Every structure is written in C-alpha cells, then in structure tokens.
Amino acid sequence: MSMDLAESMLSRRGVSVNSIADIVLKLQQRYHPKLTIEQCEESVRAVLGKREVQYTLYTGIALDELAEKKLLPEPLQSIMEQDEPLYGVDETMALGVTSIYGMIGLTSFGYLDKEKIGVIEILNEKSDGIHVFLDDLVAGIAAAASSRIAHNNPDAAHYTAGSD
C-alpha cells in the first residue's frame, strides 16, 4: 500500500490532489497570503503519505463502491443509498484523519462538512455514484493538510516565557 495507490483510488473516484489542494488554499490563504497551490499539493501528499490515512481512505472508498454495486447487507445498503443524515460513521472516520494535526483540523473539517467547498460539493451531489464516505474523507484530508500548513507557517507568532 502506498501514497500512489491512495492517489490512484482518489483519481478513479474523480478526485485529484489538485482539487483537494484548492480547498486547502481557500482555507489557509487568509492566514498565509503567500501560500501557493504547490505548497498545498505538497501538504495534501504529506497527509496521504500517512498509512492510517491510506487505510481509512481504502475502507471508505470500498464501502462506497460496494454500496454502488448493491453488495451491502440491509439496512446498511439503504442507509448508504439515502446517505442517512444520522449515520455518522463517515464523519467519524474522517475525524480520525483530521486529528493527525490537532484541533485546527477538527474545526476546519466541521466548516467543510457544512459548506461543501469545491470537489466536496460535487461528491455530495451524488450525481455519478455513492460518495457517503468519500466526500467526508476528502474534507478530512483537506482539513488535515490545511492544519499542517497552519502549524508550519513561518509567519506564525512565537511566544517565549518572560524573564524576571
């Protein structure tokens, strides 16, 4: 298993690293005005390089694909087809991804889950398949990559202990 496989699976489902990086840029540009799309892509790839992220992505995509093929047992099949709002397992898995880089990732994920920015909105519209897990996982990856950039921002304020 590798980052290349994760990127390939995302691509097969209509999601590029660049489309996630675009979300990251929108989240961070206000706080990091010199940020480039290339830096955002690097951050997305760093998140995708984490094995726990890859495993979560593989699991979520597999469940979406099994639902599309109507291979899940009931009532899970119906829950997935309806994208049942109270299901929550999809968000729970995505929160595991966001937690890698701390609280900023969590708050960014909540924002993305409500606002459905960029490719997240396209996936959420369900026009070409079931993306119950993928839309939240993309939001989780974008939130984690955004948080990683925030933590590494060289212009962030630095505080020291006072000396008396």
Asked if 24 and 40 touch (Cβ cutoff 8 Å), the reply is: yes
Question: ∠ CA 124-125-129 to the nearest 5 degrees?
Answer: 85
Q: What is the pLDDT of residue 125?
A: 87
Cα separation, 21 vs 27, whole angstroms: 10
Alpha-carbon 20 to chain mean position: 8
Comparing CA positions, the residue from 118, 164, 160 lying closest to residue 139 is 118
Overall pTM surpassing 0.75 (yes/no): yes
Comparing CA positions, the residue from 69, 48, 66, 67 lying closest to residue 57 is 48
Q: What is the pLDDT along the chain (164 residues), one digit of tens a residue?
A: 588 999 999 999 999 999 999 999 999 999 999 999 999 999 999 999 999 999 999 999 999 999 999 999 999 999 999 999 999 999 999 999 999 888 999 999 999 999 999 999 999 887 779 999 999 999 999 999 999 999 887 766 667 776 55
Render the burial of 92-104: b for 16+ CB within 10 Å, e for the rest.
ebbbebbbbbeeb
Cα separation, 109 vs 123, whole angstroms: 16
Q: What is the pLDDT of residue 39?
A: 97
Q: What is the pLDDT of residue 164?
A: 54
